[in-house]
Amino acid sequence: MTNFLNYINQIRIQDIVDILVITFIIYHILGFVKQTRAEQLIKGIFIILILTKLSEWLQLFTLNFLLTNLITVGAFLLIVVFQPELRRGLERIGTTSILPRNFLESEEKFSREVIDSITSAVASLSRQKIGALIVIEKTVGLKEIVDTGTMLNAKISPEILINIFFPNAPLHDGALIIKNDQIIAAGCYLPLSDNMRISKEMGTRHRAALGLSEKSDALCVIVSEETGTISIAENGEISRYLDIDTLENILEEIYTPKAFELKRVKRGKSEDEEQ
């Protein structure tokens, strides 16, 4: 008991902080690789490490030699094979901010007219069951994606958005990129997601939108060509079966936080008065 108390007394505040930081890092790494191909790799690494230690204890020298060298070579292979995952992780670290996003982005990027144009176009495309993929750029630049399409630099309007995705139009198959209040490019190619959780009923548009949302902080709006269903992909997650009011609220909350908060407060007061 005395030895245990002496050990406790030797623990410094720095040691506690050190443990908490490591725990935080491990937790986020596990969350980052969960249900991806990297998850299976980590399981395999743990198995190899256990076998290496067992072979050392059991004095299986040949097996221990092979496993030890496999770990050494595997460290270099990991960098090559999982370059996309490493890049995605570094990009997320680079876009992480200590301050709340709404504080940093107090200047509203999208006017009421722009939000109305997007929601109006999406509503029309959904009614007509015309497939569409609209990407709204935020803090992470999408120049590599823009370069795969056709530059437009056009002012946003419902008519232009609908015409771009109209069947048999030259640019209807690719993604449309919006930055601030302009349509930057259309007909762009997006990286497909390798997320194993994606439902098989979702097509290429949904997989492409999810893939881009995993690699950037962009907001992707998808309209299904088969059903007209409206979906949104953001931060590696996809939300389906949205209505226009929900889409409008999402755009307001993200791009006009002040106006959205005022609208929410007014709605709350109205509901209280009715009760």
Q: What is the pLDDT of residues 31-87, one digit of tens each?
A: 665 655 566 667 777 788 888 889 889 888 888 888 888 777 776 766 666 666 566
Write phi, then psi, for 114 (nearest 5 degrees).
-70, -45
pLDDT of residue 163: 95
- CATH code for position 173: 3.40.1700.10
Looking at the chain, the whole-number percentage of residues with pLDDT higher than 70 is 71
195: number of CA atoms within 13 Å, CB side? 26
Residue spans of alpha helices (H) in 96-243: 101-104, 112-128, 143-146, 158-165, 204-215
Predicted confidence band of residue 18 (pLDDT cuts 50, 70, 90): confident
Tally of structural domains, the chain: 2
Q: Give the max Cα distance, the chain.
A: 81
78 in the same domain as 167: no
Q: Tell me the pLDDT tens digit for each residue of 174-186.
A: 999 998 889 999 9
* Whether 237 and 144 share a structural domain: yes
- Please check whether residues 30 and 140 belong to one and the same domain: no
The size of the chain, in residues, is 275
263 within some domain: no
Answer whether residue 275 is part of any domain: no
3 state SS of 59: coil
pLDDT for residue 21 is more than 50: yes
- Percent pLDDT > 90 in the chain is 35
Between 131 and 79, the higher pLDDT residue: 131
Over the range 162-172, which residues count as b (16 or more CB within 10 Å of their CB) and which as e? Answer: bebbeeeeebb
- The reply to whether 86 and 140 lie within a common domain is no
Range of the domain at 79: 2-95
More confident residue, 43 or 5: 43
**Claim to verify: residue 59 and residue 183 sit in the same structural domain:** no
- Comparison of pLDDT for 8 and 121, the residue scoring more: 121
Q: Is 127 inside a domain boundary?
A: yes
Strands 132-136 and 175-179: parallel
240: three-class secondary structure by DSSP: strand
Say yes or no to pLDDT of 99 above 60: no
3-state SS, residue 151: strand
Q: What is the pTM of this model?
A: 0.62
Place of tokens 């680079």: 94
Same-domain check for residues 116 and 172 = yes
Residue 127 has pLDDT above 80, yes or no: yes
* Domain match, 115 and 89 both: no
Residues 139 and 191 in one domain: yes
121 and 162 part of one domain: yes
Q: For residues 193 and 186, is the Cβ–Cβ distance under 8 A?
A: no
Rounded Cα distance between 233 and 210, Å, is 5
Please report the pLDDT score of residue 107 as a whole number.
Answer: 42
